[in-house]
């Protein structure tokens, strides 16, 4: 795993929903080698431990990456105080990203702040993609226009019914795959790629198994070093023979084949 430390410069910053920030960071060395699904680790003010944030977009020509983060605690609160021209000490790109194949019919399924890393896939898979995006409410919706801009079909679910389907986004997934099963003329989906809260990922993995579709999930665990040295982010996995092992989410993931994860 090749990763670098770089001082990035913020070139754009927008609050896209309450407490959620969309930031463009000029960091040409990291942008040059970054892949969809990888993340960066950000040094936040006086905290020793860096905070992991997914890469939401990569522009190798301009030397920039895009990140979208939500204020959750003191680290991200400090991050939100930075503005255009400010510097950020980052390491990256870290971890193992999503499989990208422009020819595969792809379902992206994201929940809340799990949506941003999926956008970096849609940039490649574009029209071959259906993005199922779940939010608590219409006020929390982010990045919908960006997915549409890449040519993807977008279906929205909200927990409170204020927009789109009223219910969990996984119900939309089940409906989509069931309808596909009934319609023989409709081409099959090849892969499901998911990021969001663990219960959402667990249900997504079960639905993918039921419909026999390959599924990749991006897991979140609390992290410290971000490079596989400290064991903080251990995750129970199983190999093809069913034998269980602990792997590091930061180094072996955050993206795993859903069948590998012990839910």
Minimum gap (Å) between residue 120 Cβ and ligand FAD: 10
Considering the complex, state which of residue 52 and residue 57 has its C-beta at the smaller distance from ligand FES. Answer: 52
Minimum gap (Å) between residue 72 Cβ and ligand FAD: 4
Considering the complex, state which of residue 84 and residue 231 has its C-beta at the smaller distance from ligand FES. Answer: 231
In the block, tokens 């970054």 appear at: 34
51 binds ligand FAD (CB under 6 A): yes
49 binds ligand FES (CB under 6 A): no
Residues between 223 and 242 with contacts to ligand FAD, criterion CB under 6 A: 223
Stretch that binds ligand FAD, among 50-58, 82-90, 146-154, 255-263 (CB under 6 A): 50-58
Residues between 236 and 255 with contacts to ligand FES, criterion CB under 6 A: 248, 250
The residues binding ligand FAD (CB under 6 A) are 39, 51-54, 68-70, 72-76, 113, 116, 220-223, 254
Q: Which residues of the shown chain bind ligand FES in the complex (CB under 6 A)?
A: 223-226, 228-233, 248, 250
């Amino acid at each position: 795993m090749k990763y670098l430390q770089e001082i990035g410069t913020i070139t754009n910053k927008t609050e896209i929903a309450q407490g959620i920030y969309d930031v463009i960071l000029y960091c040409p060395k990291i942008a040059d080698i970054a892949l969809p699904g990888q993340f960066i680790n950000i040094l936040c003010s006086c905290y020793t431990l860096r905070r992991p944030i997914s890469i939401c977009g990569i522009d190798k020509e301009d030397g920039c990456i895009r990140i979208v983060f939500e204020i959750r605690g003191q680290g991200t609160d400090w991050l939100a105080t930075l503005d255009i021209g400010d510097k950020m000490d980052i390491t990256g790109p870290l971890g193992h990203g999503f499989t990208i194949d422009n020819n595969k019919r792809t379902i992206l399924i994201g929940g809340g702040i799990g949506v941003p890393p999926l956008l970096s896939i849609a940039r490649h898979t574009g029209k071959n993609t259906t993005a199922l995006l779940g939010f608590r409410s219409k006020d929390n919706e982010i990045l919908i226009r960006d997915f549409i801009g890449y040519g993807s079909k977008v279906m929205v679910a909200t927990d409170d019914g204020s927009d789109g389907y009223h219910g969990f986004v996984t119900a939309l997934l089940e409906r989509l795959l069931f309808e596909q099963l009934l319609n023989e003329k409709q081409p099959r989906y090849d892969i499901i790629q998911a990021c969001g809260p663990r219960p959402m990922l667990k249900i997504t993995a079960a639905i993918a198994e039921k419909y026999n579709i390959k599924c990749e999930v991006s897991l979140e665990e609390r992290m410290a070093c971000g490079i596989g040295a400290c064991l903080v982010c251990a995750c129970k996995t199983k190999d093809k023979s069913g034998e269980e092992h602990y792997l590091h989410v930061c180094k072996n993931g955050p993206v795993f084949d859903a069948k590998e994860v012990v839910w």
